[in-house]
């Protein structure tokens, strides 16, 4: 049973090998065709994704450029504040021209000011009744929602003029998040986008069609009937739909292969081979039976001790080979478990994100694995590790993983003690998402609150690690779990206002009532101006601002926007001072803010940072001022202005007589010490007192005008609107 067995098998199965070759050739051709088609579909998807990403990145870069220009360039906010000097308008137009030339896709840029209906573009200056794009301005001027791209439209510069370009547009209020003051509009040439798609969107194999979010064709042939293998992607940024089809037809035509000679030869070879194998198997059944018995015996006795090396008997070699196959099978089983865990994670993400419809069979199988007979209702809780940046810096990667494992284990055991079924996964590095299941349609929010509170307290007491939980609402169907997840995430967004290391329920957020944010934003400019000139009142107004923010109960994103708005005003005011003051400001405030802004999570932490850094900076600025020889004189002038602002004859010449100084020298000293012209400072003092009278008294506008040093009411109204941005009457309406 050594050599004779080898020769017997060789002579028995060699004809089978020869006859079956034809079948292998056929199978190889079919499989190669199928593989080629699958690879073509994958490459097509990547191809469309790259086209979409390129367009989205280009449009997003234009949006970012527009927002950064509004934030960093004071010319736009100065224009919104009713500046109309001709040299300033030229500089503003040059700024818009530089925006136009910064990107080849940009067709034109213009800014509209609602105060007097003036429009300045990169080419001209017009009034709103002459401008050909007034309809777009009216529909977007008071829109303070998220910045988004318009549908394709025809752009005209002159009313009733010839169309100049088919464009898409993006706009933003000036300043950012303002409403009805000024609007900056950037127009993008559709022809540039179409040229890009002509260049990169078609190939010898693919053809692409693009439609906007309203179904209008942007490129290619719209309304093509979809076929197997076609790719369709929807941009999450623009909402455009990208469709791709293969130009070649008839890929994988099975009829071609069934009628070919290879198929006939392979089919005949398969029939002959099957007959021959049956015959040979009958003749050699006994040796095969021996091999099978050896395999079974090995599986039972030598499960963990495979045969090593080869022996003289070739059946031992077959035995050894089968052992290796068994080891490979075990490795495959291990990999299969890993894939199963990944599949569960993807199903979890689909549940909480709502990215894909839930497969009913897969969902019911997952519920059975968790021991849930039927789905009644579900609620979502999200646990977020507080001060995650500090957590990363204080612990090694191994300890971080251990803490996260402990948190999952604590939640699991606490839920089991309450008789709850849960499913939890780390969706991000610092957020643990937990789904609570009930077999009946009943709210589990009270039990979810208890589990979250106990887990939070255990982590704080035993590991000195704080966690904030956000709780969502109870939903009756699996497809609505995304709503509970969004409610929990929204509750967590209020951690900055409500505090960390606590449990925040969705019901707390739903009961919040927001005051008028505009009232508190008025403090921003006053704080910055008082800080620059050294008035002590800025500290009290900063405290009032943060008290107002706490009452408003705003989410983190809106708080960040308000603080960015205040930082911008501080920057504007400090740029009016000499370079040594600016250097001190950058060193004492801007650099520490950039280093700590991500670590400051609550309003208390933010208020402490602002109070500490600004107080330190104010002291050092005052020290610089006191080191100058004329500081005492300037302080006396400042005090005199505060006491005599109601005098309509208060002027630089009257002050020079009062203090026996040359008017030009006094103006220069004032400018160097406070970074402000004398006339502007007097106007600011009068406007601050006017605001107090408008808020706290029922005096008429004329009476207030006279009390702050203006003989004529119209002069007071013009000065108030230029300084504050609104009329005295409108300002009083906001506060009353």
pLDDT single digits (tens) 448-503: 888 888 898 898 889 888 999 988 888 888 788 888 888 888 888 777 767 788 88
SS3 content of the chain, % helix, strand, coil (to 5): 60, 10, 25
Q: Residue 307, by phi and psi: left (phi above 0), alpha (psi -120 to 50) or beta? A: beta
The tokens for 506 are 């969705």
CB 573 within 8 A of CB 532: yes
Count of CB atoms within 10 A of residue 392's CB?
A: 14
Is the bond preceding residue 438 a cis peptide, omega within 30 degrees? no
Phi-psi region of 211 (alpha: psi -120 to 50; beta: other; left: phi over 0): beta
State how far the Cα of 260 lies from the Cα of 30, in Å rounded to an integer. Answer: 12
Among 272-281, 290-299, 711-720, the range with the most confident prediction by mean pLDDT is 711-720
Interatomic CA distance for residues 144 and 172, integer angstroms: 8
CB 524 within 8 A of CB 566: yes
Q: Is 645 exposed, middle or buried (CB count within 10 Å of its CB: 0-12, 13-18, 19+)?
A: buried
pLDDT at 469: 92
Q: Among all chains, which residue has been given the structure tokens 């509750």?
A: 491
pLDDT score of 632: 64
Please give the pLDDT value at position 322.
58
Higher pLDDT, 112 or 444: 112
> Residue 615: is its pLDDT beyond 80?
yes
- Give me the chain's average pLDDT, please: 76
With a cut of 60, say whether residue 679 has pLDDT above it: yes
CA gap 303, 32 in Å, rounded? 38
Task: Region of 228 please: left (phi>0), alpha (psi -120 to 50) or beta.
Answer: beta
pLDDT at 1 > cutoff 50: no
Element (H, E) at 401: helix 397-417
Give the model's pLDDT for residue 729: 82
Q: How many H-runs (helices) and E-runs (strands) does the chain carry?
A: 29, 15
SS3 131: strand
How confident is the model over 123-147, as a mean pLDDT? Answer: 80
Please name the residues in contact with 257: beta carbons below 8 A apart, sequence gap of 6 or more.
Answer: 26, 29, 30, 33, 263
Q: Are strands 153-155 and 165-173 parallel, antiparallel or unpaired?
A: antiparallel
Is 307 a residue whose pLDDT tops 80?
Answer: no
**Confidence at residue 467, expressed as pLDDT on a 0 to 100 scale:** 92
Nearest-angstrom CA–CA distance, 493 and 365: 34
pTM assigned to the model: 0.40
Cβ atoms within 10 Å, residue 572? 16
- Give the number of residues written for the chain: 736
Question: 251 pLDDT exceeds 50?
Answer: no
Cα four-point dihedral sign 125, 575, 681, 610: positive
Could you tell me the two tokens for 226? Answer: 């979809």
**What pLDDT, on a 0 to 100 scale, did the predictor assign at position 186?**
92
Q: Pinpoint the alpha helices (H) of 201-313.
A: 254-258, 261-283, 285-301
What does the pLDDT look like over 399-455, one tens digit per residue?
Answer: 888 988 999 899 989 988 888 888 888 888 888 999 888 877 666 677 888 888 889
Give residue-wise pLDDT tens across range 361-376: 777 777 777 667 667 7
Average pLDDT over residues 230-239: 81
What span, in angstroms and rounded, lies between the C-alpha atoms of 441 and 58? 48
């Amino acid at each position: 049973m050594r050599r004779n067995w080898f020769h017997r098998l060789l002579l028995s199965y060699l004809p089978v090998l020869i006859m079956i070759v034809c079948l292998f050739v056929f199978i190889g051709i079919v499989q190669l065709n199928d593989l080629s088609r699958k690879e073509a579909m994958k490459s097509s998807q990547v191809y469309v994704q790259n086209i979409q990403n390129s367009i989205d990145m280009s449009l997003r870069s234009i949006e970012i450029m527009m927002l950064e220009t509004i934030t960093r360039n004071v010319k736009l906010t100065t224009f919104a504040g009713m500046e109309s000097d001709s040299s300033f308008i030229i500089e503003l137009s040059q700024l818009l021209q530089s925006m136009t030339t910064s990107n080849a896709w940009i067709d034109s840029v213009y800014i509209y000011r609602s105060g007097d209906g003036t429009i300045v573009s990169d080419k001209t200056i017009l009034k709103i009744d002459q401008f050909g794009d007034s309809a777009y301005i009216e529909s977007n001027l008071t829109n303070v929602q998220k910045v988004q791209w318009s549908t394709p439209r025809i752009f005209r510069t002159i009313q009733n003029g010839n169309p100049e370009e088919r464009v898409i547009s993006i706009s933003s209020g000036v300043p950012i998040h303002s409403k009805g003051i000024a609007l900056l509009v950037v127009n993008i040439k559709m022809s540039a986008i179409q040229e890009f798609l002509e260049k990169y969107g078609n190939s010898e194999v693919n053809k692409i069609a693009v439609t906007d979010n309203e179904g209008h064709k942007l490129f290619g042939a719209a309304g093509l009937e979809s076929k197997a293998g076609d790719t369709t992607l929807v941009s999450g940024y623009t909402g455009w739909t990208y469709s791709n089809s293969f130009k070649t037809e008839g890929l994988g035509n099975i009829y071609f292969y069934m009628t070919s000679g290879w198929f006939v030869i392979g089919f005949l070879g398969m029939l002959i081979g099957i007959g021959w194998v049956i015959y040979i198997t009958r003749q050699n059944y006994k040796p095969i039976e021996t091999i099978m018995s050896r395999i079974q015996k090995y599986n039972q006795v030598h499960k963990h001790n495979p045969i090593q090396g080869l022996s003289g008997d070739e059946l031992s070699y077959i035995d050894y080979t089968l052992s290796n196959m068994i080891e490979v099978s075990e490795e495959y089983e291990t990999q299969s478990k890993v894939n199963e865990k990944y599949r569960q994670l993807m199903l979890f993400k689909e549940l909480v994100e709502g990215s894909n419809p839930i497969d009913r069979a897969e969902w019911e199988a997952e519920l059975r694995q968790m021991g849930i007979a039927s789905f009644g209702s579900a609620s979502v809780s999200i646990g977020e590790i507080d001060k995650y940046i500090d957590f990363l810096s204080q612990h090694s990667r191994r300890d971080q993983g251990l803490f996260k494992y402990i948190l999952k284990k604590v939640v699991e055991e606490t839920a089991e003690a309450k008789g709850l079924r849960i499913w939890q996964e780390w969706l991000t590095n610092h957020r643990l998402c937990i789904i609570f299941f009930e077999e009946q349609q009943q709210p589990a929010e009270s039990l979810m609150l208890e589990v979250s509170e106990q887990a939070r307290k255990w982590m704080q007491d035993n590991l000195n690690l704080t966690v904030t939980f956000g709780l969502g609402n109870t939903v009756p169907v699996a497809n609505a779990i995304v709503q509970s997840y969004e409610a929990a995430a929204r509750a967590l967004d209020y951690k900055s206002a409500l505090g960390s290391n606590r449990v925040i329920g969705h019901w707390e957020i739903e009961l919040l009532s927001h005051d008028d944010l505009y009232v508190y934003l008025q403090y921003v400019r006053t704080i910055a101006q008082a800080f620059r000139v050294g008035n002590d009142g800025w500290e009290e107004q900063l405290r009032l601002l943060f008290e107002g923010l706490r009452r408003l109960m705003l989410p983190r994103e809106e708080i960040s926007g308000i603080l960015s708005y205040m930082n911008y005003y501080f920057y504007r005011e400090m740029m009016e001072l000499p370079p040594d003051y600016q250097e001190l400001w950058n060193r004492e405030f801007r650099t520490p803010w950039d280093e700590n802004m991500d670590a400051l999570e609550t309003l208390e932490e933010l208020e402490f940072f602002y109070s500490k850094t600004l107080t330190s900076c104010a002291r050092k600025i005052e020290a610089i001022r006191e080191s100058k020889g004329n500081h005492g004189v300037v302080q006396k002038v400042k005090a005199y202005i505060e006491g005599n602002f109601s005098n309509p004859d208060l002027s630089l010449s009257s002050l020079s007589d009062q203090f026996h100084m040359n008017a030009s020298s006094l103006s220069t000293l004032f400018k160097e010490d406070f970074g402000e012209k004398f006339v502007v400072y007097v106007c600011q003092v009068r406007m601050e007192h006017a605001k107090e009278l408008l808020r706290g008294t029922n005096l008429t506008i004329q009476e207030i005008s006279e009390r702050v040093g203006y003989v004529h009411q119209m002069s007071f109204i013009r000065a108030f609107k230029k300084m504050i941005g609104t009329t005295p009457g409108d300002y009083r309406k906001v506060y009353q």
